[in-house]
Amino acid sequence: MSITLNSPLDMHLHLRDEDMLKTVAPLSSRDFAGAIIMPNLVPPVDSKEALLAYKERINAAIGNDTFTPYMTLFFKPTYTKEFLASLKDELVAIKLYPAGITTNSEGGLSGFDVDELRPTLDAMAELNIPLCVHGETNGFVMDREAEFVSIYEMLATNFPKLKIIMEHITTKASVETLDKFENLYATITLHHLLITLDDVAGGMLQPHLFCKPIAKRPEDREALRKVALEAHPKVMFGSDSAPHPQHAKENCGCAAGVFTSPIALQVLTELFMEHSNLENLQAFISGNAQKIYTNITVPTKSITLEKKPFVVPAIYGTVIPMYAGETIAYSII
């Protein structure tokens, strides 16, 4: 039996730059019809020139594949309505990072002052530009996302017309917050549907499973699985595939990020099959995102999978993928 997925979308993706971009971009453009491209380069993508030039580099790296890079800017409270309006056709979302909370986020926001944020967030709401948020405080590592919920609530209340995407949610508390505000949505990664903190640090430390936010408790994973497997209309797939070279992961001081793009569709198919929810995968992988991001155009593309063993390569360029060297049950044919 073969399974067809129409125009799969990855609503949270890191493609990096230079050699890394050349290694990883074709792996996403082969399997997906489009992706929201994160702006946390060094320096961050925070100007029109940087955004347009990065888009060109991405398009060069993907060759002839049918794949649309949906570009984002690194949030700054100084963006004006005129500036954002001038980028309207190129800019799909803006990504907000609290300062220093994750990879390359040093230039992020150091406080959430509504009056300071208002001009930019009002302009985004008027221009139908969603705000994507890495929602963690700098508190105790297991509590950071739960502590950020009050900031999501403050943003959702003060900016009711702004679409706010809670990126890569990892907790039951975030899942429960989703339904409380009409304008809150979320992305869920593959790895947070699969692993808990035990897989990262319960035995020998697994650097290739270390990411921000850190994987949480079994009950958190259960809550994420429930809304993903039922394709709750406010959640969508966002891999947060975040490649780092092997030396940066297998190091005293491990970079945060799990590299999943080359196995994402295969393993999601297996997960949805196992739970007899295959009919919901299309909505989770594309349909919901198209209803949430009403500002994107999605190219037609179909991906076919079969239950056929696939041996995951040990390394792609300099990056070790999740399940490196292991055999997974589904293949893209």
Contact 330, 307 (CB under 8 A): yes
Closest CA to 36 of 62, 72, 85: 72
Binding mask 131-160 toward Zn ion (x if CB under 5 A, else -) reads ---x--------------------------
Among 26, 135, 238, 257, binds ligand NCD (CB under 6 A): 257
Which tokens in the block code for residue 35? Answer: 């992706």
Shortest reach from residue 138's CB to Zn ion, in Å? 14
C-beta of 169: minimal distance to Zn ion in Å?
11
What residue is closest to Zn ion based on CB?
134
Is 240 in the active site? Answer: yes
Among 212, 216, 234, 249, binds ligand NCD (CB under 6 A): 212
Among residues 218, 145, 212, 222, the alpha carbon closest in space to that of 177 is found at: 145
The sheet carrying 34-37 orders its strands as 9-13, 34-37, 68-74, 91-96, 131-133, 164-166, 184-188, 235-237
Q: What share of the chain is helix, strand, coil (3-state, %, to 5)?
A: 40, 20, 45
72 binds, options ligand NCD, Zn ion, none, Cβ within 5 to 8 A by partner type:
none
Question: Alpha-carbon Rg of the chain, whole angstroms?
Answer: 18
Q: 211 contacts which partner out of ligand NCD, Zn ion, none, CB within 5 to 8 A by kind?
A: ligand NCD
In this complex, which beta carbon is closest to ligand NCD, that of residue 105 or of residue 282? 105
The residue behind tokens 């297996």 is 270
- What is the CB-side half-sphere exposure of residue 100 using CA atoms within 13 A? 4
Least spacing, CB of residue 204 vs ligand NCD, in Å: 20
The answer to whether residue 145 forms part of the interface with ligand NCD (CB under 6 A) is: no
Measured CA to CA in angstroms, residue 168 lies from 78, 102, 304 at distances of: 26, 12, 26
With respect to Zn ion, which residue has the nearer C-beta, 16 or 134? Answer: 134
Contact letters for Zn ion, residues 210-249 (x by CB under 5 A): ------------------------------x---------
- Of residues 220 and 240, the one with the C-beta less far from ligand NCD: 240
| Interface with ligand NCD in residues 213-242 (CB under 6 A) | 240, 242
**How would DSSP label each residue in 40-88?**
--SS---SHHHHHHHHHHHHHHHTT---EEEEEEE--TT--HHHHHHTT
* CA angle (293, 295, 296) in 5-degree steps: 80
Query: Least distance in Å: CB of 14 to Zn ion?
Result: 6
- Binding of ligand NCD by 20 (CB under 6 A): no
Q: Which residues are designated catalytic?
A: 240
Enumerate binding residues for ligand NCD (CB under 6 A): 14, 40, 102-103, 134, 211-212, 240, 242, 256-257
